[in-house]
Amino acid sequence: MPKALIVSIATGMGHNQAANCIKSELEAAGYSACIAEPIKDGRIIDLVINNGFKILAGKMPKMYGRLYKVTERKLLNQGIAKFLNVTLRNILREIIEDHKPDLIISTHPLLVNAVSYVKASGRANIPFIAVVTDYMAHQFYVNKYVDAYIVGSKYTKDTLTAKGVMENKIYTYGIPIRKEFRQPRRIKPGDSTQNNVFSILLMAGSMGIPRIKKCLKILLKNRHNFRLTVVCGHNQKLKEELEEKYCQAANGKDIIVYGFTDEIAKLMDRSDLIITKPGGITVSEAINKNIPIIIPFYIPGQEEENTEILVKAGVAVSVENISELNKTVDMFYENPALLEKMRLKALEFSRELSPDSIVRLADGLIYEYNSRQHMVHA
């Protein structure tokens, strides 16, 4: 039974969700797979990365965006990579020695160089796959010791080749998502809710971005009747506030509020539109469910880049000024042909992807490495 080690960092929820999806795919194919979060074994770096992300992305998004762009520069990127290598090398070596994997997969850019450093030192002569969980690949993903990249679109592939990654190392399999999101919608468009009421899914991300309150306030002023389902993620305070304020229908609109839920696939099946910030996992799930996406805000950095690509691909619309949100909703509500056009764009986008192919890729890389080692020892 081949062994796979998947390494991740819980900045937001997307990287760990991708890791869990890959684990499930591999285990279903007969692998022994485990997930490790190396920075959890280093208290200071855990504090810096996880808490730093929450503070910067949540409280100082402009600062986060500047930091993201600055670290695209090779010299600064290499400096941060060296710091992470020194900090994580012993932790990673211990994890690898404990698990003795045949394959390593990373779902977080900050771990790519650290794993590559261990490979370069000769401590892990096994294949290494980097999974890009956004639609543009940051410089942190780029390292010659990565054997294969799994990306979410041809656009993502282009960003890697532009950074010097060989095309034959890049596989457009899609950002890993759970199987329930890969199943076609069971409810026909227009029949998404009782009595054929138009339905909008409003998502705040795993951290429950408070700006969702402003979106909801604007949507409630819309002249059309529709059903609003609001998902607050892990922000329990936001959930309780919205439940108390909107315990009854408001301005002819039914409102249902969720906290963190595992029922997102079912909620998407019942929705005509999704309004969300453009986290890689969430938008991949929506695209696979063929739901048009409205992006009313984003965190500068990778979400800004995701927005650019999704709009270019015709699967999302970006609202530059949140006060104009209702104009965009009206455009879809009053124009079923536009809704259908974007659904078809999403279908076309998702058809290019092959998320279950990761097993074949893993098998092939392990076989290739084993063959090389047999030739060396022969």
249-288 per-position pLDDT tens digit: 666 788 888 988 889 999 999 999 999 989 899 999 999 9
Kindly state the average pLDDT of the residues 204-216.
73
Residues 56 and 86 reside in one and the same domain:
yes
Kindly state the average pLDDT of the residues 86-106.
90
Residues 126 and 189 reside in one and the same domain:
no
The SS3 of residue 234 is coil
Residues 87 and 187 reside in one and the same domain:
no
Residues 9 and 146 reside in one and the same domain:
yes
Could you give the CA distance from residue 256 to residue 272 in angstroms, rounded to a whole number?
Answer: 15
The answer to whether residues 92 and 106 touch, using CB atoms and an 8 Å cutoff, is: no
Residues 264 and 128 reside in one and the same domain:
no
Residues 23 and 157 reside in one and the same domain:
yes
DSSP code, position 253? B
> Which pLDDT score is estimated for 193?
44
Residue 127: count other Cβ atoms within 10 Å of its Cβ: 24
> Which pLDDT score is estimated for 38?
85
Residues 347 and 239 reside in one and the same domain:
yes
Residues 98 and 191 reside in one and the same domain:
no
Residue 158, pLDDT above cutoff 90: yes
Residue 321 contacts by C-beta under 8 Å, 6 or more apart in sequence? none
Residues 150 and 200 reside in one and the same domain:
no
Within its chain, how far is the Cα of 240 from the centroid?
26
Kindly state the average pLDDT of the residues 17-26.
94
Q: Domain of residue 250: give its range.
A: 180-351
Q: How many CA atoms lie within 13 A of 174 on its CB side?
A: 27
CATH of the domain at 287: 3.40.50.2000
Structure tokens at 210: 């408070």
Residues 138 and 275 reside in one and the same domain:
no
Residues 328 and 369 reside in one and the same domain:
no
Within its chain, how far is the Cα of 123 from the centroid?
30
Residues 34 and 141 reside in one and the same domain:
yes
Domain count within the chain: 2
Residue 172, pLDDT above cutoff 70: yes
Could you give the CA distance from residue 274 to residue 294 in angstroms, rounded to a whole number?
Answer: 6
